[in-house]
Amino acid sequence: MSRVGDRAQRLEARVTKKSFRTASGQGVPVIADLSFVLEEGETGALIGPSGCGKSTLMRILAGLDRNFEGSVHLPADGRVGMVFQEPRLLPWRSVGDNVRLAAPDASEAEVTALFAALGLLEHRTHFPGELSVGLARRAALARAFAIRPTLLLLDEPFVSLDAPLARQLHGDLIRLVESRRMITVLVTHDVDEAIALADRIFVLSARPSHVVAEIRVKNPRAAMTGEEAQAVAARIEGLRQPG
């Protein structure tokens, strides 16, 4: 395995093999020959059946799991921001402190602008336990953006949110992503979410997973008609294996 910061502003992930050991000591392959590349400013969506190793791949990209065969080339300086499936805020610190602890170098103006963009200004002094689910996810987004990441990892950040709330957050996220030149990797099982947010969609197979197809979404997104979006969605659905 290797995980290095590269000069170029691109993310190159090549995981040739990743397995888990069961209790009986057997190795179960989770990922086999999965590779993809994202250039500066691009958002890639990983979409695939549940249990296909998407979260495992994210842990590898985040540097939390180094026990794999292959290599990951991070964009230069490799500052990684991550939004997990759960907000993972420190419950004993205020929302403002949570962001500050993760991003001590961010300027006061920057943080305030971020809070304003995500509708968090009046919740800055609240403890995470006092926030609604949607607000807690916004706070997790604020934390990830505050560190000015060159690589942003979003592991199903909107799972279990109701549709209107998720759409609202999609809008906020698109605005924030487009205001930065970073690489974003989004794991999702929601085709519409992938089309709404990504430049490239990587459809993954069932375990052991690899990339079945790479689909480019027309950019800028606003130019895509409803029919075009439907056609992309139909193509992805056709490639997806049940699971």
User: How many other CB atoms sit within 10 Å of the CB of residue 225?
Assistant: 9
At position 30, the amino acid (one-letter code) is V
Q: How far is CA 165 from the centre of its chain?
A: 18
- Binding to another protein by CB under 8 A, coded x per residue (else -) over 15-54, reads ----------------------------------------
Give 78: exposed, middle or buried? Use CB within 10 Å, 0-12, 13-18, 19+. middle
Q: Is 8 in contact with 75 (CB distance < 8 Å)? A: yes
Taking the least distance from each CB to another protein, the nearer of 9 and 94 is 94
58, 153 contact by CB (below 8 A):
yes
Binding pattern for the stretch 50-79 against another protein, x by CB under 8 A and - elsewhere:
---------x--xxx---------------
Q: Is 84 in the site for another protein (CB under 8 A)?
A: yes
Among 27, 29, 51, 91, binds another protein (CB under 8 A): 91
Beta carbon of residue 135, minimum distance to another protein (angstroms, whole number): 15
- Rounded to a whole number of angstroms, the minimum distance from the CB of residue 93 to another protein is 7
Residues in 134-173 at the binding interface with another protein, rule: CB under 8 A: 143, 147, 153
Q: Residue 49, preceding bond cis, omega within 30 degrees?
A: no
**Which of 157, 167, 176, 165 shows the shortest CA–CA distance to 114?**
176
Dmax over CA atoms of the chain, in Å, equals 54
Kindly tell me which residue out of 31, 82, 120, 166 binds another protein, with binding defined by CB under 8 A: 82
Verify binding: residue 106, another protein, rule CB under 8 A: no
Residue 127 touches another protein, criterion: CB under 8 A? yes
Return the range that interacts with another protein (CB under 8 A); candidates 7-15, 41-49, 84-92, 228-236: 84-92
Distance (Å, whole) CA 42 – CA 139: 23
* Residue 2 C-beta: closest distance to another protein, Å: 18
Residue nearer to another protein on the CB measure, 69 or 86: 86
> Of 209, 214, 152, 147, nearest to 183 (Cα)?
152
Q: What are phi and psi of 137, to 5 degrees?
A: -70, -35
Q: Per CB under 8 A, which region of 36-44, 80-88, 217-225, 234-242 contacts another protein?
A: 80-88
**Quick one: tokens of 144?**
């990830």
Give contact residues for another protein (rule: CB under 8 A): 59, 62-64, 80-82, 84, 86, 88, 90-93, 101-102, 127, 129-130, 143, 147, 153
